[in-house]
Amino acid sequence: MSSEDAEAPDPDGGGADADIDHENAAQDVVAVDPDDAPQGTVNRLDAHTGDGIRHRAFTCLVFDGDGRILLAQRAPTKRLWDGHWDGTVASHPVEGQSQEDATETRLEEELGITPDQYDDLRVTDRFEYKRYYPNEGVEWEVCAVLKVTLSDTDLDPDPAEIGGRLWVDYDHLHENPALYRQLRLCPWFEIAMRRDFA
């Protein structure tokens, strides 16, 4: 598996000293090889600092019955890609946790979406990518893509995680990226969407 769209770091990048006390700094993520085979655990802050450490992640694309995707804006307190729009949630499973279980947890924690609102959560893709966020850190992930369609679109977002919400026609978003440029989409979501339509 080759890394998608790697970019060189900002020469002053990786400056994470101010974020040592970040709420997630003490958590561990699962380090993986390019084929997503586990290589032990590493500190989450270490994995996202400097040149980073390849680790396991997921993004979940949430749809309604009309084929619209829910874009969720990352809260301004997020260390990386704060204020950017994701489609829809992204995070990291802990050691021993399946991608589906991790996704189910994050859907409820971030958006208040409970399992009784869907019955089709599934992994649809997986890719590796590496992207630097200037002066803050890096994402170097083997990212699983999951999809889910809500039968009930009631949401109860956590403002510490989600800044805004927007339902968008998925086909229109893919076909007209320039119209949505002001949203500043997260890189992992852009890659997942491009691969979805390939």
Tell me the CATH number at 66.
3.90.79.10
Residue 65 included in any domain = yes
Q: Are 153 and 165 in contact (CB under 8 A)?
A: no
d(CA 198, CA 116): 31
Rounded to two decimals, the pTM is 0.86
Residue 35 included in any domain = yes
Positions marked active-site = 141
Residue 58 included in any domain = yes
Residue 74 included in any domain = yes
Residue 8 included in any domain = no
141 annotated ligand binder = yes
For the record, the structure tokens of 72 come out as 């969720």
Nearest to 85 by CA among 99, 70, 100: 70
Structural domains of the chain, count? 1
92 annotated ligand binder = yes
Strands (E), the chain: 3-4, 28-32, 38-43, 55-63, 68-74, 85-86, 89-91, 122-133, 137-149, 162-169
Residue 44 included in any domain = yes
pLDDT tens, position by position, for the chain (198 residues)? 445 655 443 333 333 333 333 455 578 999 999 999 999 999 999 999 999 999 999 999 999 999 999 999 998 888 888 889 999 999 999 999 999 999 999 999 999 999 999 999 999 999 999 999 887 799 999 999 999 999 999 999 999 999 999 999 999 999 999 999 899 999 999 999 999 999
Residue 19 included in any domain = no
110 annotated ligand binder = yes
Nearest to 27 by CA among 48, 49, 42, 16: 42
Domain membership of residue 134 as a residue range: 28-197
139 annotated ligand binder = yes
Residue 1 included in any domain = no
